[in-house]
Amino acid sequence: MDKIAVLIPCFNESQTIEKVVSDWKRELPEAVIYVYDNNSSDNTADLATKAGAVVRHEYSQGKGNVIRRMFREIDAQCYIMVDGDDTYPAEYGKQMANLVLKKRTDMVVGDRLSSTYFDENKRPFHNFGNCIVRGSINRLFKTDIRDIMTGYRAFSYLFVKSFPVLSKGFEIETEMTIHAVDKNMRIENVIIEYRDRPEGSESKLNTYSDGFKVLKTIGKLYKNYHPLGFFGRISTILILASALLFLPIAIKFLQTGFVPNFPTLIVSGFIAVTAIISYFAGLILETLTEKERQEFEFRLQVIENLEKSIKNIDFK
**Mean per-residue pLDDT for 195-202?**
69
Q: Tell me what the pLDDT averaged over the chain comes to.
A: 89
Q: How far apart are CA 267 and CA 127, in angstroms?
A: 43
Q: How far apart are CA 254 and CA 277, in angstroms?
A: 29
What is residue 315's predicted lDDT score, i.e. its pLDDT?
43
Give the sign of the dihedral formed by CA 18, CA 20, CA 21, CA 22: positive
What is residue 199's predicted lDDT score, i.e. its pLDDT?
67
State pTM to two decimals.
0.83
Using the CB atoms, write b or e for 237-272: b if 16+ within 10 Å. Answer: ebbebbeebbeebeeeeeeeeeeeeeeebeebeebb
What is residue 204's predicted lDDT score, i.e. its pLDDT?
62
Per-residue pLDDT of 60-94, as tens digits, reads 999 999 999 999 999 999 999 999 999 999 999 99
Q: Taking Cα atoms as reference points, which of 179, 182, 191 lies closest to residue 155?
A: 179
CATH of 2-224 given 3.40.50.150, 3.90.1640.10, 3.90.480.20, 3.90.550.10: 3.90.550.10
Q: How far apart are CA 133 and CA 218, in angstroms?
A: 8
Dihedral, 70, 76, 81, 84 alpha carbons, nearest 10? -70
**Mean per-residue pLDDT for 103-114?**
93
Inter-residue contact 143 to 181 (CB < 8 Å): yes
**Amino acid present at 298:** F
What is residue 120's predicted lDDT score, i.e. its pLDDT?
66
Q: Is the pLDDT of residue 35 over 80?
A: yes
Residue 315 or 227, more confident:
227
Residue 122 or 140, more confident:
140
Q: How far apart are CA 285 and CA 224, in angstroms?
A: 9
Q: Is the pLDDT of residue 52 over 60?
A: yes
Bin 219: left if φ > 0, else alpha if -120 < ψ < 50, else beta: alpha
Residue 34 pairs with which residues in a beta bridge?
Answer: 7, 54
Inter-residue contact 116 to 194 (CB < 8 Å): yes
Q: β-strand 153-156 against 76-81: which pairing, if any?
A: antiparallel
**Mean per-residue pLDDT for 216-233?**
92
**Amino acid present at 196:** D
Inter-residue contact 192 to 92 (CB < 8 Å): yes
Q: Is the pLDDT of residue 279 over 60?
A: yes
Q: How far apart are CA 44 and CA 35, in angstroms?
A: 9
Q: How far apart are CA 210 and CA 16, in angstroms?
A: 23
User: What are the extents of the domains in the chain?
Assistant: 2-224, 227-312
